[in-house]
A = this chain, B = another copy of it.
């Protein structure tokens, strides 16, 4: 295919768009690959659409290769199935809802678990029909509160979502592994760095779950890894829990005046003055943080989270634990006199207490641990308050932030923290959806058994952004060969008709050899502008036909390495073809 710059629907921009926060967004807009069409909605321009379709092709080829079968659902879906699984409600404001002319409720599909479950139920009835993996590459909708970072977090985007159906857990494991392997091949082919991390299930509810994260500073997800090979989404990290301590012989709790100590810092300073030999640190204190849980039914509940004083409550970890409830800041101290701001202690907390406020603690708060914590009176704290003796809790919650150097839960060494963006998610759903929608098959003994499912997603449009984000330099985009919108960018410079003729001939020879060529045939554009555009647009091979032509050579440049070579015109087509095809 030959794309001529003179007629290509393309305008490269000199300046960064005002609303672009991250390099991929800036560059994709500046290079004319995408254009904003709506809040969180982008239009793919011709070059961008070619990249998109290349990514889609890689995903499709690998899904087909693993034996998954492609189908395609509508995006506009009826309410009922999502009601049956409660996701109509659980999705909250993230779901686009609408009614048709008859007043029936519809939604724009965020994912399609329900629909796939019903489809398989519709067609299949026996264990002999399984295993089965189905996928689609489809437009998805989420009413994001804050669409951002261009294609990374939009309200309309393209996903490959697939679903596996098995008669038993061993089958699910096999299907899960097959998807995992396919994802590895996909991201390898896309040239996209990734880390496979253990993941929480979020609103999904199930068992094994991993994310393919692309490490990048601009990522919204934090993940951890140890030198020993442990890797997890920060939501999935579990604290290493100390052994409980026998309660016998522990000192009695005592309340002390600690004026003006509403923060951990001020409290520790006062505690050290009072008991210079105790070696108190922030970790000696128990910080009690009030939050409001917004439940899917609309009700609001104040809850106190107790964490060691050297850690903050990590909002994302907390949200993952309490989902589908959402977390909001707590402000209504006036309505809850039991809660003394800055001096909250566990003695007045608990579902069974007078306040009725639930108390959830960090897993490090085990029986026998001693804490300095609020005495529920301004300016007073209690010391040596022993967990399991002086106070109890309604539950344990992994809400404390993970700190660099924390031990990996599998003993593989200290953790380091990094940021990443989720590129793929594989997930053992188990029987949640099959149960809610009654997907059963007859097993070998003629008995009805509930099918077990997996759910697997790759962000196709997001992958384009991630590739742009990871592969660019100060001059522009640097596409890997597999997904570049064209294999070769031929630049004709100057005003010499012979140059344009040679460049056109070369372009056509390359097209005849099966390559896609972007040919800059613009007659009145200066070489400087053309070179700048070539760097910005980022084709992997840039060929310049210009002054060298008089000596019978053209220049071939590798966009990624910057390597240049002069090639005799007569050999150019074959040499370039071989370089592009790697043979």
Contact = CB atoms under 8 A, between A and B. Distances in A.
Given A9-B134, A134-B9, A156-B76, A71 B44 contact: yes
Interface in A99-153: 100-101, 104, 106, 108, 115, 119, 122-124, 132, 134, 139, 141, 143, 145
B43 A71 contact: yes
Contact of A1 (B43, B46, B64, B73): B64
Contacts of A280: none
Contacts of A108: 76
Contact of A43 (B37, B41, B74, B94): B74
A141 B156 CA distance: 15
Chain A contact residues: over half helix, strand or loop, or mixed?
A: mixed
A100 B96 contact: yes
Contact of A75 (B8, B75, B124): B75
A93 B45 CA distance: 31
A71 B49 contact: yes
A93 B99 CA distance: 11
Interface in A62-114: 64, 67, 69-78, 93-94, 96-98, 100-101, 104, 106, 108
A41 to B, nearest CB: 4
A141 B75 CA distance: 10
A347 B334 CA distance: 80
A35 to B, nearest CB: 6
Nearest to A44: B72
Contact of A96 (B74, B76, B93): B76
A93 B69 CA distance: 37
A338 to B, nearest CB: 34
A132 to B, nearest CB: 6
Contacts of A1: 64
A561 interface: no
Given A7-B132, A94-B101, 7 more contacts: A1-B64, A9-B71, A11-B123, A43-B72, A49-B70, A76-B96, A98-B98
Nearest to A158: B72
15 contacts: A8-B69, A9-B71, A9-B134, A10-B123, A11-B124, A37-B119, A42-B74, A43-B72, A44-B71, A49-B70, A75-B139, A76-B108, A76-B141, A76-B156, A100-B155
Nearest to A141: B76
Contacts of A500: none
Nearest to A79: B38
A76 B107 CA distance: 12
B9 A74 contact: no
Contacts of A9: 69, 71, 123, 132, 134
A38, A115, A124: which has the most chain B beta carbons within 10 Å?
A38
A183 interface: no
Contacts of A76: 38, 41, 96, 108, 141, 155-156
A39 B132 CA distance: 27
Interface in A31-69: 32, 35, 37-39, 41-46, 49, 52, 64, 67, 69
Contacts of A94: 101
A392 to B, nearest CB: 40
Nearest to A96: B98
A37 B69 contact: no
Contacts of A72: 43-44, 49, 52
A203 B45 CA distance: 28
B70 A38 contact: no
A122 B71 contact: no
Interface string A287-315: 00000000000000000000000000000
Contacts of A77: 37-38, 41
A67 B46 CA distance: 12
Contacts of A74: 37-38, 41-43, 156
Nearest to A11: B123
Q: Which 10 A-B pairs have the closest CB atoms?
A: A41-B74, A98-B98, A44-B72, A93-B101, A46-B69, A11-B123, A74-B156, A43-B73, A38-B78, A9-B69
